Amino acid sequence: MFSDKGLILIQAYSFTSKPIAHVEIILDKSNKTAKYSAGDFTAHMGIPTYIDAEHAIAHNKIIIIDKETVITGSFNFTKAAEKKNAENLLILKSKELTKIYLNNWQEHKKHSTLYQGK
Protein backbone atom coordinates (compact mmCIF):
# COMPACT_ATOMS: atom_id res chain seq x y z
CA MET A 1 0.00 0.00 0.00
CA PHE A 2 2.77 2.47 0.96
CA SER A 3 6.34 2.56 -0.33
CA ASP A 4 8.95 2.06 2.41
CA LYS A 5 11.41 4.91 1.90
CA GLY A 6 10.45 8.44 2.85
CA LEU A 7 7.29 7.22 4.56
CA ILE A 8 6.37 8.97 7.79
CA LEU A 9 3.00 8.33 9.42
CA ILE A 10 1.89 10.13 12.57
CA GLN A 11 -0.94 9.53 14.98
CA ALA A 12 -1.22 12.20 17.66
CA TYR A 13 -3.54 14.15 19.90
CA SER A 14 -2.02 17.32 18.48
CA PHE A 15 0.88 18.29 16.20
CA THR A 16 2.65 21.65 15.87
CA SER A 17 6.27 20.73 15.14
CA LYS A 18 7.48 22.47 11.96
CA PRO A 19 10.75 20.52 11.45
CA ILE A 20 9.06 17.24 10.45
CA ALA A 21 8.79 17.04 6.64
CA HIS A 22 6.26 15.10 4.51
CA VAL A 23 3.83 13.07 6.53
CA GLU A 24 0.27 11.78 6.76
CA ILE A 25 -1.38 12.55 10.08
CA ILE A 26 -4.36 11.31 12.07
CA LEU A 27 -5.43 13.78 14.78
CA ASP A 28 -8.02 13.90 17.53
CA LYS A 29 -11.50 15.29 16.76
CA SER A 30 -10.81 18.34 18.98
CA ASN A 31 -8.84 19.73 16.03
CA LYS A 32 -12.10 20.24 14.10
CA THR A 33 -13.54 22.71 16.61
CA ALA A 34 -10.53 24.66 17.90
CA LYS A 35 -10.17 28.26 16.67
CA TYR A 36 -6.87 27.48 14.93
CA SER A 37 -5.91 23.87 15.44
CA ALA A 38 -3.08 21.51 14.68
CA GLY A 39 -5.36 20.27 11.90
CA ASP A 40 -5.36 23.73 10.33
CA PHE A 41 -1.59 23.96 10.81
CA THR A 42 -0.90 20.68 8.99
CA ALA A 43 -3.65 20.98 6.35
CA HIS A 44 -2.45 24.48 5.36
CA MET A 45 1.07 23.06 4.92
CA GLY A 46 -0.32 20.55 2.42
CA ILE A 47 0.04 17.57 4.76
CA PRO A 48 -2.73 14.98 4.35
CA THR A 49 -4.53 15.32 7.70
CA TYR A 50 -7.26 13.03 8.98
CA ILE A 51 -9.55 13.40 11.99
CA ASP A 52 -10.25 10.34 14.15
CA ALA A 53 -13.60 11.03 15.81
CA GLU A 54 -14.26 7.38 16.63
CA HIS A 55 -12.87 7.62 20.18
CA ALA A 56 -13.48 9.80 23.24
CA ILE A 57 -9.91 11.06 22.68
CA ALA A 58 -7.50 9.91 19.96
CA HIS A 59 -4.55 10.16 22.34
CA ASN A 60 -1.96 8.14 20.40
CA LYS A 61 1.53 9.51 20.07
CA ILE A 62 3.37 7.59 17.37
CA ILE A 63 5.53 8.21 14.35
CA ILE A 64 6.21 5.39 11.88
CA ILE A 65 9.26 5.87 9.65
CA ASP A 66 10.06 3.82 6.52
CA LYS A 67 8.16 0.76 7.85
CA GLU A 68 11.07 -0.05 10.16
CA THR A 69 11.09 2.49 12.99
CA VAL A 70 8.42 3.48 15.53
CA ILE A 71 8.71 6.51 17.81
CA THR A 72 6.28 6.54 20.73
CA GLY A 73 5.93 7.79 24.30
CA SER A 74 4.28 10.66 26.15
CA PHE A 75 5.76 13.32 23.83
CA ASN A 76 2.97 15.32 22.10
CA PHE A 77 4.94 16.65 19.07
CA THR A 78 4.42 20.23 20.22
CA LYS A 79 6.72 23.10 21.09
CA ALA A 80 5.56 22.90 24.72
CA ALA A 81 6.49 19.21 24.87
CA GLU A 82 9.89 20.04 23.39
CA LYS A 83 10.73 23.09 25.51
CA LYS A 84 8.70 22.99 28.76
CA ASN A 85 7.30 19.57 29.65
CA ALA A 86 8.77 16.46 31.23
CA GLU A 87 8.24 13.91 28.45
CA ASN A 88 9.52 10.52 27.35
CA LEU A 89 10.20 9.11 23.92
CA LEU A 90 11.05 5.58 22.83
CA ILE A 91 12.59 4.73 19.46
CA LEU A 92 11.96 1.14 18.35
CA LYS A 93 13.79 -0.26 15.33
CA SER A 94 11.99 -3.47 14.41
CA LYS A 95 10.25 -4.25 11.13
CA GLU A 96 8.01 -6.81 12.88
CA LEU A 97 6.90 -4.37 15.59
CA THR A 98 6.55 -1.54 13.08
CA LYS A 99 4.22 -3.72 11.00
CA ILE A 100 1.88 -4.01 14.01
CA TYR A 101 1.90 -0.22 14.49
CA LEU A 102 1.38 0.33 10.74
CA ASN A 103 -1.64 -1.99 10.70
CA ASN A 104 -3.08 -0.14 13.70
CA TRP A 105 -2.46 3.23 11.99
CA GLN A 106 -4.26 2.02 8.87
CA GLU A 107 -7.24 0.78 10.93
CA HIS A 108 -7.57 4.25 12.50
CA LYS A 109 -7.28 5.92 9.09
CA LYS A 110 -10.19 3.79 7.80
CA HIS A 111 -12.60 5.40 10.26
CA SER A 112 -11.07 8.88 10.05
CA THR A 113 -12.13 11.68 7.73
CA LEU A 114 -9.89 13.90 5.61
CA TYR A 115 -9.58 17.36 7.16
CA GLN A 116 -9.47 20.23 4.65
CA GLY A 117 -8.97 23.04 7.16
CA LYS A 118 -11.21 26.00 7.90
Tens of pLDDT along 65-118? 888 999 999 998 888 888 899 999 999 999 999 999 999 999 999 999 999 877
Q: Looking at residue 20, what is its pLDDT?
A: 58
Q: Is the pLDDT of residue 13 over 80?
A: no
Let me know if domain 8-114 sits in CATH 3.10.20.30.
Answer: no
Helices (H), the chain: 38-44, 79-83, 95-110
pTM for the predicted model, two decimal places: 0.77
Percentage, residues of the chain above pLDDT 90: 47
Residue from 53, 59, 52, 45 nearest 17 by CA? 45
Pick from 54, 48, 33, 31: which is nearest to 112 by CA? 54
Domain ranges of the chain: 8-114
Question: Which residues are marked as active site?
Answer: 59, 61, 66
